[in-house]
Amino acid sequence: MLLLAGPLACLGVITIANAWLLAAVEIDSLWAAAGFGMIVGAGYLMPMTLNIVINPRFPRPFYYTALNAPFFIGGSVLSCVVMWLI
């Protein structure tokens, strides 16, 4: 259950933070919303993923990051675009 609920809960928190930041920065176009999502994904979520896995329990942290970072970046871009459209 945690395997499914954990990522969903984390994505919910990221979506709420993106919504607040989109309003605070006053994003005014679809491309700006997509770019904002890309900056958040590549600038915060991807390094956070690498930071978490740099420990002795993960034998290949860069591989793990390369495998998972596109999911986080894509989710951030998608959530920002959808929120801008709504």
Between the alpha carbon of residue 64 and those of residues 19, 43, 52, 73, 85, the distances in Å are 28, 17, 10, 14, 32
Instruction: Give the model confidence (pLDDT) of 9-64 as tens digits.
Output: 888 888 899 999 999 999 989 999 999 999 999 999 899 888 988 988 888 889 98
With a CB cutoff of 8 Å and minimum separation 6, the contacts of 64 are: 49, 53, 58
Look up the pTM and report it: 0.82
What are the residue ranges spanned by the domains of the chain?
Answer: 19-85
Q: Is the pLDDT of residue 8 over 90?
A: no
